[in-house]
Amino acid sequence: MSNRLLTISIPTYCRPEYLVECLDALLISSRSLSKSDLAQIEVCVFDNSEDDDRSRLVCESNCYTPLNLLYKKNMDNIGSDKNILQSLLAPKSRYVAIMSDDDFVETKYFSHILRTINDFDPDIIFLKAYGLTGKNDLIRPLNFSKNKIFTSPIPLLFDRLIQVGFVSTAVYRRDKIDDSVVQDS
């Protein structure tokens, strides 16, 4: 395990314009954190576009330094599923969240996640998704809804059913992810 508490993993493929918006939103959210909280977070970009360096150029921008940004480029296109899986398994922080390169976060994203981790030490955190449009003119809720604690899977499944299609709605405790179930296909 690394000394980081949380890794935001972003798999990407030839979409630097979306990656910029995603990283900008994370940067805005990080501004509300103390230096010690910010030091516990890293953002890792997993670039699957073997012949396109535009995402690397985005990640090399000095403006993203506060995010403790790491960049990994695959030598070959390994496919989206394997890139997402790599994004989940590669981080060694205590918690990992996969975020699509075209997703946005609200301004209190990091502070909500860190507070939930510190208050409850959960195995998994499900976040509320509002829709992924990339349009800034849509009205989005300013706050997360009240925290819910589930003690059995049935109410959790009913509550989260609408969210299953969004990869960016969960934060996982890394030591609860069993790497042995992953088989090379």
Q: Which amino acid is at 28?
A: I
Q: What is the per-residue pLDDT across 23-59, written as a single tens digit (0 to 9) for each?
A: 999 999 999 999 999 999 999 999 999 889 999 999 9
Q: For residue 138, how far is the Cα from the chain centroid?
A: 22
What are the respective helix, strand and coil percentages of the chain, to the nearest 5?
40, 15, 45
Hey, how many other C-beta atoms are within 10 angstroms of the C-beta on 94? 18
* Sheet with 69-73, side-by-side order of all strands: 69-73, 41-47, 6-12, 95-98, 170-173, 124-126
| pLDDT for residue 152 is more than 50 | yes
Those residues with Cβ within 8 angstroms of residue 175's Cβ, 6 or more apart along the chain or in another chain: 1, 94
Task: Give the integer Cα–Cα distance in Å for 11 and 91.
Answer: 12
Task: Give the integer Cα–Cα distance in Å for 18 and 36.
Answer: 29
What would the two tokens of residue 109 be?
């994203």
For position 143, what pLDDT does the model report?
Answer: 43
- 106, 140 Cβ separation under 8 angstroms: yes
* Residue of 87, 1, 71, 68 whose CA lies nearest to 30: 68
- Rounded to the nearest integer, the mean pLDDT of the chain is 83
- Max CA distance (Å), the chain: 47
| pLDDT for residue 184 is more than 80 | no
Residue with structure tokens 């699509």? Answer: 100
For position 126, what pLDDT does the model report?
Answer: 79
Prediction pTM value: 0.82
Residue scoring higher pLDDT (179 or 125):
125
